[in-house]
Structure 1
Amino acid sequence: MISRNIFENISPLDHRYSLKDEFQAYSTYLSEEAKVKYQAQVEVALVKVLAKYGICSEEVAKEVEEAAQKISVENVYEEEKRTKHNIRALVNCLQDKVSEEAKPYIHFTTTSFDIVDTANSLRYKEATEELILPNLKELAETLMEIALRDKDTIQVGRTHGQHAVPVTFGFAIAEYVSRLGNRIKELENRAQNLRGKISGAVGAYNASHLFFTDPEEFENDVLAELNLEAATHSTQIVEPEYLLDYVHSLISTFGILASFSDDMRHLQRSEIAEVGEYFDKDQVGSSTMPHKRNPINYENVKSMWKEFMPRMVTRYQDQLSEHQRDLTNSASSRFIPEIIVGLLASTNRLIKVCKKLVVDHKNLKKNFDQNKEMVVAEPLYILLASYGHPDAHEIVRKLTLEAEERGLPLRELITEKEELEPYWAKFDEKQRQLLINPEKYIGIAVEKTEKVVDYWQEELELD
């Protein structure tokens, strides 16, 4: 058995992020040891169904199941040095632990990628159900709490990096509740649609057809033992699009985490300072500037996304395999667990930082007040147009320039312009108050925030 200090490892996922408590759970599904155990699980399912079909005895099936619990990844790797084939090494290790009677039925009628592709689909599906979805839902729930807590907190809207009409901070967070909710549902669907195969060397059931009148039914029965369905067609490998779509759902989910982190990072800029990360009493923001409090968690998520997002290109390349199969995805496909771990590590980081998110209400108001008098340009233009002004946009545009030049609130200029008096007289009290109190011009931001949160609480079945 290889024993190595974690700081001698090469991947930062191992020596840096494995220091987190969650890493042990990741290893259950995504480690090399887990991969071998899932492959053995497929071999066991095969023999169990062979017993149901009367090809071998129930005793043989039980014997193989017990053997699968005893094999170690170290033994399989040691055997692979001799065979130069990983699945043959696994089969040999299993056969070494069973009787002569049981040996023939291990790997019976299957090819290596019946085992590899099926095992990968199973472990990614279960990792999604047990790790990814619960973590993403916890993050979504945390964002919902922030959205509802600050649903009435005024925030200047921003488009193109410029101040726009106002929203609320809760409304801004609700965007990510909705985007993340949609990705959670998509990821759930794609994980459920991961497929397996027990169709032999070229996918035509050549070997199993020797023994079963309906080899597809046999395949379905083996996969049912694993709670999987068969691909509608396979060669030596499962159709790659099932896994491709699954990984795309991971990467696009990662993109939402990066987008949210980018927004939160920018809102922490010194000149904006609308939110802040919680700092521990001994935490250091800079090695040379003791006053600094950097947005390190949000920056880490953005950085992790930058690492894993381009790997989607490799997944598209893995979509191509010559004829019934080549080996050009053999190495690249082994890195898919890293994408999952990267997403999980970033999700857990955001859960922790968002639960301690500091919202600076004073700075939110200060930033809104900077341009609040210009906010009324939009409702003024719309109201003038609604009462028949032939060139409302142009007159308001000129008014904004004059207001800036004279240093006056835009609304004060309205009553100075004779041509606007007939229109101003038509405004009702509610409309006039809106022009006097720009902070009220938030549309249905509060109601929409509540609606979004209610919808996704129900869709994601959150308490």
Structure 2
Amino acid sequence: MSTQQQSSLSKVSSLTAISPIDGRYARQSHELREYFSEYALMRYRVFVELEWFKRLFQEQITTSDSREIQYIIENQGYLDKIFENFSMEDAERIKTIEATTNHDVKAVEYFLKEKFDQHPGELSKYKEMLHFSCTSEDINNLAYALMLQRSSEKVMHPALDAVYGSLEEMSAKYAGVPMMCRTHGQSATPSTMGKEVANFGYRLKKQIKEIKRIKPQGKFNGAVGNLNAHKVAYPEKDWVRISQRFVEDALGLEWNPYTTQIEPHDAVARMSLEMSLANTILIDFSRDMWGYVSQGYFKQRNVKGEIGSSTMPHKINPIDFENAEGNLGLANALFTHFAQKLPISRFQRDLSDSTVLRNLGVAFSYSLQSYKALGKGLSRVDINQERLDEELSQHYELLAEPVQTVMRKYDIANPYEKLKELTRGKVVTREVYLEFVKGIEGLPEDERKRMLELTPQKYIGYAEKMAKGLSQY
């Protein structure tokens, strides 16, 4: 490779990115950069450090001098702007400091001290209160918890809600469209397309509720979780309550009082497991949609200019459902690892969780990419009513179930066996079915008339009602 080529590849772009998340799929998951990039991590560390600095004065921890407290209150706007206006230049400055410190959180502290020094007033004289009694993990765990909380509320929950919305709309639209089911891959009792979509909608809706119930946890208790330095510095203070108020009131997180140096990530593990189940439900749905397209139950719209195959001009491939399935699988591989690994830490702390946590955004990005692919795929399919009706009309053996059930109702001998002999392993025509029903001895004429009028298209039970009622659950 030439020097020029090597130079080009060293520049980060969508074409040189190793991960497709920052390359091919960058547009599909760009919203998450605000929450899971290294820039975002730095920004939220800055936020936690500044909120703790302000809390020291609000709680009158390091001073009870009303003038000093008032001074910090008056300059709160300056402190807030450090976070609100945090820029790429600020992030680069932190990286420059880190090149010397070889410690990312300490670099944030030094960056903030520089900001205090740049204040036109006397803020710099309070800069040693930055990172007061903190271990790095006090800052990190809260930063990650905030990133998870806000990315979930702003991006992931709406994305999942949008997928559910598509399923609910689809179930209502196709509530009364009969289709032949397949159990074990074989022809089986009919349903409606709307009801089969509603099955996934109901599962996903329940799972979204579980995901939304999870609240990220945070700890703020020092080097090994006992607030040791805090108590030595100010023994008269109730540090346990101060810690709780900071995590819950200042940051809006769930407080974890019992930890080692690290917050044990149990809430992250729960979130990972719940997300993986939602994704598994959607993998199941993606595969069924792929199958329905393959069976001709859905037609795919032809988009001008698009090519399905480099050699077969006729093809329109179900690539969005395939894309969703593949990326959901990648997300779940990571979510499973998070759930199994993150709650484990040797003794009071090891760093093996640190590198894993930096990949949280990868799993969420693959998930988000998949949700958007599913939405796109669903927007480009239309029901093939003709194909569904044609298939049902060719399979009157599907009515063996209701006929033998009605025969049992009137105590007619060997109903199951008679229908088995007529239908097992056979494709039964309408004519054969009608002849059989007409010949059933002991069947009341009103029931015979009802069975003669029954068709596979009409044999759908409560499917239509259930499909239309999805929104009630």
CA distance in 2, matches of 1:105, 1:129: 32
User: CA 1:406–1:12 in 2, change beyond 3 Å: closer, same or farther?
Assistant: closer
Q: Distance in 2 between matches of 1:246 and 1:136?
A: 14
Q: 2:371 aligns with which of 347, 353, 376?
A: 347
What residue in structure 1 maps to residue 130 of structure 2? Answer: 106
Does 1:428 pair with 2:447? yes
Partner residue of 1:7?
15
Tell me the amino acid that sits aligned with residue 18 of structure 2: I
2:471 counterpart residue number:
453
After TM superposition, the score normalised by the length of structure 2 is 0.88
Would you say how many aligned residue pairs link Structure 1 and Structure 2?
A: 442
Distance 2:425 2:188 in 1: 19
Deviation at 1:403, TM superposition (A): 6.8
**Please, which of 276, 293, 303 is the counterpart of residue 268 of structure 1?**
293
Name the residue aligned to 2:7. Answer: none
Q: Please tell me whether residue 385 in structure 1 is matched to residue 408 in structure 2.
A: yes
Cα pair 2:171 2:195 within 8 Å, conserved: yes
Aligned to 2:66: none
Question: What is the one-letter code of the residue matched to 1:384?
Answer: M
Deviates more, 1:51-60 or 1:102-111: 51-60
Q: Is 1:88–2:103 an aligned residue pair?
A: no
| 2:219 alignment partner, one of 197, 204, 216 | 197
Q: Which residue does the alignment assign to 1:251? A: 276
Gaps of 5+ in 2: 1-9, 64-68, 118-123
Change (3 A) 1:241 1:411: farther
Who is 1:376 aligned against?
399
Query: Structure 1 CA distance, aligned partners of 2:378 and 2:387?
Result: 19
Distance in 2 between the 1:225 and 1:188 partners? 21
Residue 176 of structure 1 and its aligned partner are, at CA, apart by 1.6
CA contact (8 A) 1:13 1:342 kept: yes
Partner residue in 1 for 2:92: 74
**Could you tell me how far apart the structure 2 residues matched to 1:259 and 1:360 are?**
21
Q: 1:43·1:106 contact (CA, 8 Å) conserved in 2?
A: yes
SS in 2 for 1:281: coil
What residue number does 1:53 align with? 59
Q: 1:405 to 1:120 in 2, by over 3 A?
A: closer
- For 2:419 and 2:157, how far apart are their aligned partners in 1? 50
Decide whether the 8 Å contact of 1:155 with 1:364 is kept in 2: yes
1:327 equivalent among 343, 351, 364: 351
Q: 1 CA distance for matches of 2:50 and 2:167?
A: 43
Q: What is the Cα deviation at residue 437 of structure 1?
A: 2.1
Please give the secondary structure, in 1, of the residue aligned with 2:180.
strand
The answer to whether the 8 A contact 1:67-1:98 is kept is: no
Does structure 1 conserve the Cα–Cα contact (< 8 Å) formed by 2:168 and 2:198? Answer: yes
Q: What letter corresponds to residue 102 of structure 2 in structure 1?
A: K
Among residues 304, 309, 324, which one is paired with 1:281 in the alignment? 304
1:44 aligns with 2:50: yes
**Residue 48 of structure 1: CA displacement?**
1.6
C-alpha distance in structure 2 between counterparts of 1:27 and 1:438, whole Å: 51
1 CA distance for matches of 2:341 and 2:174? Answer: 44
Question: Aligned partners of 1:370, 1:410: CA distance in 2, in Å?
Answer: 11
Map of 1:440 onto structure 2: 458
Q: Which moved more, 1:101-110 or 1:287-296?
A: 101-110
Give unpaired runs (5+ residues) of structure 1: 456-463
Question: Do the aligned partners of residues 255 and 222 (structure 1) sit closer, same or farther apart at CA in structure 2, a change above 3 Å counting?
Answer: same
Q: Which amino acid aligns with 1:396?
A: L
Deviation at residue 406 of structure 1 after TM alignment: 9.7
The SS at the match of 2:188 is strand
2:34 paired residue among 16, 28, 52 = 28
Give runs of aligned pairs for residues 179-190 of structure 1, distance below 5 A. Answer: 179-190=203-214
2:187 to 156, 159, 163: 163
Which residue of structure 2 aligns with residue 234 of structure 1? Answer: 259
In the alignment, which residue of structure 2 is the partner of 1:458? none
Is the contact made by 1:284 and 1:290 (CA closer than 8 Å) also made in structure 2?
A: yes
Instruction: Output the CA distance in 1 between the equivalents of 2:209 and 2:164.
Output: 12
TM-score by length of 1: 0.89
Residue 356 of structure 1, CA deviation: 3.1
Deviation at 1:454, TM superposition (A): 3.2
Q: Tell me, what secondary structure is at the counterpart of 1:98?
A: helix
Alignment counterpart, residue 172 of structure 1, candidates 196, 218, 229? 196
The residue type equivalent to 1:147 in the other structure is: S
Q: Which stretch has the larger CA shift, 373-382 or 397-406?
A: 397-406
Identity among equivalent positions (%) equals 26
The aligned amino acid for 1:26 is: L
Mapped pair 1:317 → 2:341: yes
Partner amino acid, structure 2, of 1:334 = R
